[in-house]
Amino acid sequence: MANDPLQSLRLQMLNDVLPVGLGAVARLRAARAKDLLNDLLGGQDGVANLRQDGENDARQLRDLLDQLAPGLGNPVVEVDVEVQSQPSDPSGQEDDIQELHERLALMAERVAQLKAALPATKTGP
């Protein structure tokens, strides 16, 4: 991935913060503020519970954002691709060319044999 700090922040927000926030909203909607408070005070385990509760809603929101603009909700992760070209082997090409000449000579010889075996036809009126 590219070293773009804004893109990294955006990915972190979409993948880490959004599910926790939506999990907290779901708890508040269900009138479970006490559970929300316990999870927030519970440290990493509580945050993990909120993330798990909000992950489905976060995925749906990211998919909705993708429908509005592709790559907005589920961003395309940039990768660096490097193609290494291999130097051509001139000795291998010479072998191929030599084999081609041999086969063409064999074909020419067979065509000559076919012409000799066929009766001569006279063309013209």
- 64 and 18 in a single domain? The answer is yes
- 11 and 63 in a single domain? The answer is yes
- 22 and 52 in a single domain? The answer is yes
- pTM for this one? 0.52
At residue 85, what is the residue type?
Answer: S
Q: Does some domain include residue 21?
A: yes
| Count of domains forming the chain | 2
Q: Does some domain include residue 17?
A: yes
Q: Does some domain include residue 18?
A: yes
Could you read off the pLDDT of 99-123 as tens digits, one per residue?
999 999 999 999 999 989 888 766 6
- 112 and 57 in a single domain? The answer is no
CB-side neighbour CA atoms (13 Å) of 38: 6
Could you read off the pLDDT of 17-72 as tens digits, one per residue?
899 889 888 888 887 888 888 877 877 888 888 888 889 999 999 899 888 888 88
- 59 and 13 in a single domain? The answer is yes
Q: How far apart are CA 10 and CA 16, in angstroms?
A: 10
Q: How far apart are CA 60 and CA 66, in angstroms?
A: 10
Domain that holds residue 101: 90-118
Q: Does some domain include residue 104?
A: yes
- 97 and 55 in a single domain? The answer is no
Count helices and strands in the chain by DSSP H and E runs: 5, 0
pLDDT tops 50 at residue 1: no
pLDDT of res. 90: 61
- 15 and 53 in a single domain? The answer is yes
